[in-house]
Amino acid sequence: MGMLKRILKALLPKAAIGAYHYALAVFSAFLYRQPSEKMIVIGVTGTSGKSTTCYLLARALEACGARVGMASTILFKVGEKEKLNDKKMTMVGRFQLQKLLRNMVDAGCTYAIVETTSEGIVQHRHAGIHYDVCVFTNLYPEHIESHGSFDAYKAAKLKLFAKLACDPHKVVDGERVEKIIVVNAEDAQALAFSSFAVDEVVGVFPSKQMLALKMLGVHNQSNAQLALAVGVSLGFDPHKLEQAICVVPGVPGRLEMIDEGQHFTVIVDYAFEPGALTKLYDTVESLKHKRIIHLTGSAGGGRDKARRAKIGALVAERADVMIVTNEDPYDEDPQAIMDEVAAGAKRVPSEKRAEIRLMLDRGEAIRSAIREARTGDLVLVTGKGSEQAIAVAGGKLAPWDDREEVRKALRRL
């Protein structure tokens, strides 16, 4: 199926492919009886922080008594039923997404939170969804190979906000729903995302007011404050919202500490690109630790090859031991990907460079990192977070969970 898709993509005009995706999106919405018309739909987009913002917003709205559904990289949620996302994609195929939205309606959900990606937008997966609120987290160069340029990447994101502005107002339970945009006003691209004609535009300035978050990470201030701003704009009690957000201990696979009684710290995190890895290091530097042992890699499938060397250099500069391993090779040679990451690491002067090891088997790499750790050390396992599969050749998904592999390795000590 993956090969067929690539062949068709190469042979068919871009416009024809776009029309096909759009038609599927509209038809799937019709097939499931336009579920997004029955709920207030919140779309969250940006380069990073989307999943955490979605997660915090869901918890906050629920604490205020709302019944919430969610589709994100982390999990699928229909009311109280939650399932980790095992599809290896954020915006699942149109029929799956519309079916999920229909399930939310049938379960009595009045709010749907949809993590909306640039690639999903390019494939018109958002086309059959009637959004009411759009949230912008941040924007910096990422997914450049799939979009062609940063400007094209930005343009894809902006289409979501343009759609919000152009779509008619929705009426839910006899009441007109206002169209709202919430942006991280401290991001350099915020102006472009806040310049659409809607009922309300809310700018959030994360550095001006710090919430007392239980979860790790200064960068999570912006995610938390965006979630808070959305809730307030929707008319919920600010105090209840803030209280609910601040007590969240963490998000699955995001700066998630794994504790099996060991005398060192292990953190599993989704960070897979230089920007997110930098934020991760800025966070963990505040934790008391001796050595840093970092297991890292990079994805295949044509996903921004240029970042591989950057990841290698960044980790080599900041870790003490660097274990490069297989991540999500897709149809690429996993060893070749690892070699590119290692090549970037080796550009760092030897006196400032981490010890570099290459281990193809991700499970063995995790076990090696755990065995290597001593009292007071910090082990970082990055790239996959709470993902439930590794993407391999032929479009296949091999069941996987970094967190469970870490737990098993710790129990063997």
Q: Give residue 299's pLDDT.
A: 84
Amino acid found at 94: R
176: left (phi over 0), alpha (psi -120 to 50) or beta: beta
pLDDT for residue 157 is more than 70: yes
Q: Give residue 4's pLDDT.
A: 54
Q: Give residue 141's pLDDT.
A: 85
Q: What is the mean pLDDT of residues 168-179?
A: 96
Six token digits for residue 177: 């729903």
**Domains of the chain, earliest start first:** 11-21+29-246 (3.40.1190.10), 256-411 (3.90.190.20)
Q: What is the mean pLDDT of residues 177-189?
A: 98
Q: Give residue 1's pLDDT.
A: 47
Report DSSP state, residue 353.
P
pLDDT for residue 79 is more than 50: yes
Q: Give residue 195's pLDDT.
A: 97
Q: Give residue 3's pLDDT.
A: 58
Are 324 and 411 a contacting pair, CB within 8 Å?
no
19 sits in which H/E element: helix 14-31
pLDDT for residue 290 is more than 90: yes
Q: Give residue 144's pLDDT.
A: 72
Six token digits for residue 359: 């281990």
Amino acid found at 145: E
Give the DSSP per-residue string, 98-131: HHHHHHHHHTT-SEEEEE--HHHHHTTTTTT---
Strand, coil or helix: what is 386? coil
Q: How far apart are CA 266 and CA 369, in angstroms?
A: 10
Q: Give residue 251's pLDDT.
A: 97
For the chain, give the mean pLDDT: 94
Q: Give residue 142's pLDDT.
A: 77
C-alpha gyration radius of the chain:
21
Six token digits for residue 197: 């004609």
Contacting residues for 371 by C-beta, under 8 A, at least 6 apart:
409, 413
How are beta strands 321-325 and 175-177 bridged, if at all? unpaired
pLDDT digits 0-9 by tens, 160-170 = 999 999 999 99
Does 311 or 14 have the greater pLDDT score? 311
Q: How far apart are CA 83 and CA 334, in angstroms?
A: 29
Six token digits for residue 84: 């980790």
Six token digits for residue 26: 């509209």
Q: What is the mean pLDDT of residues 330-349?
A: 96
Strand, coil or helix: what is 111? strand
Percent of the chain past pLDDT 70, that is, above it, reads 96
- Phi and psi (nearest 5°) for 64? -90, 5
Q: Which residues of 190-227 are buried (b: 16+ CB within 10 A; e: fewer)?
A: bebbbebebeebbebebeeeeeebebbbebbbbbbbbb
Q: What is the mean pLDDT of residues 187-211?
A: 97
pLDDT for residue 282 is more than 70: yes
Q: How far apart are CA 195 and CA 162, in angstroms?
A: 10
The CA dihedral of 372, 377, 378, 379, to the nearest 10 degrees, is: 10
The model scores a pTM over 0.75:
yes
Contacting residues for 121 by C-beta, under 8 A, at least 6 apart:
45, 156, 157, 159, 160
Are 268 and 398 a contacting pair, CB within 8 Å?
no
Q: Give residue 311's pLDDT.
A: 97
Are 192 and 138 a contacting pair, CB within 8 Å?
no
Q: Give residue 303's pLDDT.
A: 72
Six token digits for residue 228: 């808070």
pLDDT digits 0-9 by tens, 345-401 = 999 999 999 999 999 999 999 999 999 999 999 999 999 999 999 999 988 999 999
| Least confidently predicted of 179-188, 191-200, 300-309 | 300-309
Are 58 and 77 a contacting pair, CB within 8 Å?
yes
Are 408 and 369 a contacting pair, CB within 8 Å?
no
Q: How far apart are CA 280 and CA 360, in angstroms?
A: 24
pLDDT digits 0-9 by tens, 4-46 = 556 656 666 676 777 888 899 999 999 999 999 999 999 999 9
| Least confidently predicted of 76-85, 242-251, 389-398 | 389-398
- How many residues comprise the chain? 413
Give the DSSP per-residue string, 56-94: HHHHHHHHTT--EEEE-SSEEEETTEEEE--SS-SS--H
